[in-house]
Amino acid sequence: MKPMGFYLWVDEQLAWAQGTYEYRPMGAAVISKSDLFRRRDFSARRPPRPPRTARFAGQFASLGHLNQHLQNARRR
């Protein structure tokens, strides 16, 4: 199993994630809060930081955990 990690920030409409894979940066991804992240969403060319208006939502071990958090937040 290869170590992965993701950091998540959210605001009213968007979700930003920054990922690592085998301790190397995967890049960043930005999606609508109503969507789910996919590996192909991540780009090393995308700026790694969300805007200051976004709040930090946590660190996650996998894309599955990250997406589960987004789905649970929608239900609340």
Q: List, for residues 62-71, the tens digit of each pLDDT value.
A: 999 999 999 9
**In order along the chain (76 residues), what is the average pLDDT of each group of 10 residues?**
81 92 83 94 84 93 94 89
Cβ burial, residue 46 (10 Å; 0-12/13-18/19+): middle
Backbone angles phi, psi at 26, to 5 degrees: -90, -20
Strand partners, 21: 4, 24
Q: How many domains does the chain have?
A: 1
SS3 label, residue 55: strand
- Residues of the domain holding 51: 4-75
pTM, two decimals, is 0.86
